[in-house]
Structures are given as C-alpha cells and as structure tokens.
Amino acid sequence: MGKLYGIGVGPGDPELLTIKGKRIINEVDFLFCPEKKEGAGSFAFEIIDEHLENDNVKIVNLVYPMHYKEDDLEKMWRHNAGIIGDMLQGDKRGAFITLGDPTVYSTFMYTLPHVDKTSIEVEIVPGITSFCAVASELKLPLVEWEENLTIMPVRKKDNAELQRSIAHSDNLVLMKPCNQPNEIVQMLKNNGLEKNFMLISKVGTGEEVLIDDIEQLENTKLPYLSTMIIKKGGL
C-alpha cells in the first residue's frame, strides 16, 4: 500500500518547518510541489529546499491555477490526485508540501478527497499558519478570554460576508486581503477600526513588510501572501 503525507511547511521561514516534516521529506520517494502555473516554481519547495538531503527523491510539480471556476478546479484536483495515485503504486511514499498548515485553506485538502484511499494511506503533518506567525511576530494574542476569532479568506466581490465578519467578530484574521484592499480600508474606517489592524506580507521571509497605518494601506499594492489581523479591543 502506498502512503501520502500532507506536510505543512509553515509560512515562509525555513526554520519553522517541523522536525517531523523534515524527516519525512528526506524519507519519501516523491515530493509533490504545488505551483500556480507550469514552470512558475513552488514557494513551498523554496522553504524546504535547504532541508532536503534526499538525493533520490523525485520532485513532481503539480499545477494549481489561481482562479475560482468551480468546474475547472474540480478537474484540476482530480487530475493531480490521479498523478499522485499513479506514482504511489505498491509501497511507494510521497509527500505533498503546502504552505502553512494542511488543514487551513490548502491545496492538499482540496485534492485529498479525490485520492484513492483504498490503495493509499494518508497522514497529515501540521505546520505553522501565516496568522500564527504574524501574531507571534507582532507579539499579539490572537484571542483571549471569552473573545471569539474569525478566520476568513477575502474573496473578490464578497463584501457582504466581509461586512458580517467585521460586525460580529472580536478578532478577525483576513487571508489574502489583496483581493479587496479598497473595500477593507473603507470598512475599517466605517467601523472606527483605523488603528485596530496590523498586516504583514510575506511573513518570515527577506521580503517581509509590515503595515499598521491606514494611509499606507490605502497606497500600497498588497502581495498575494498577506495576512491582516483586526482586533476590536485594540492592539
């Protein structure tokens, strides 16, 4: 029986890869690396590259385009699951590496339902999420006492859900705020939260940027890998 590991490699700092994750990537036969288009390269692989000591592992890049057409996504997940299944025949083992934690908005979890689990055993290895890394970097608690916490991805043209989350959350984590930066700025202003947010792009990398000023937020083009924390009780 083949075995597939879903490994969270963390948000960007190679030192945040877990000991277990490092061990497994150096034991498997295949390393499955997601990329947004063919030849674009995998940021997840960049994170683990310095830890890779297994000269015999085969690197397999899997394309996951950055769009939200449901039919296309379903075909892509099935296609990539088929590639994984073909390679993990017999007793072969493979690791699918993914940013952050595999259970939080990850390509691995979208692909997993299409993997044939009658012939492939699955194990998930947790990783550090971007929002936990951002909170640690800022020395901020994500949530305390009886407060609630909402974690949501910012989708294009989804203002109603964003407004509801801001209205009903004590603490709010916004993933990919680059999708609606102007709307987020306006909602912060409308709710008197101009000084209650902090945002970090590319946390844990040499390109890390911190934004905690509303005017700077208005005038900055945010990278895709950005995470915002909003705390109604103050920072």
pTM: 0.91
Contact assessment for residue 149 and residue 173, using Cβ atoms and an 8 Å cutoff:
yes
Domains and CATH numbers, the chain: 2-125 (3.40.1010.10), 130-231 (3.30.950.10)
What single DSSP character describes residue 192? Answer: T
| Tens digit of pLDDT at every position of the chain (235 positions) | 999 999 999 999 999 999 999 999 999 999 999 998 777 679 999 999 999 998 899 999 999 887 667 777 888 999 999 999 999 999 999 999 999 999 999 999 999 999 988 899 999 999 999 999 999 999 999 999 999 999 999 887 667 888 888 889 999 999 999 888 888 999 999 999 999 999 999 999 999 999 999 999 988 889 999 999 999 988 8
Q: What are phi and psi of 14, to 5 degrees?
A: -55, -25
84: tokens are: 């994984």
Contact assessment for residue 102 and residue 7, using Cβ atoms and an 8 Å cutoff:
yes
Please tell me the number of Cα atoms within 13 Å of 180 on its side-chain side: 19
Q: Are strands 30-35 and 2-8 parallel, antiparallel or unpaired?
A: unpaired
Predicted local confidence at residue 113, as pLDDT: 95
Question: What is d(CA 77, CA 168) in angstroms, rounded to the nearest whole number?
Answer: 34
What amino acid is encoded at 196 in this protein? N
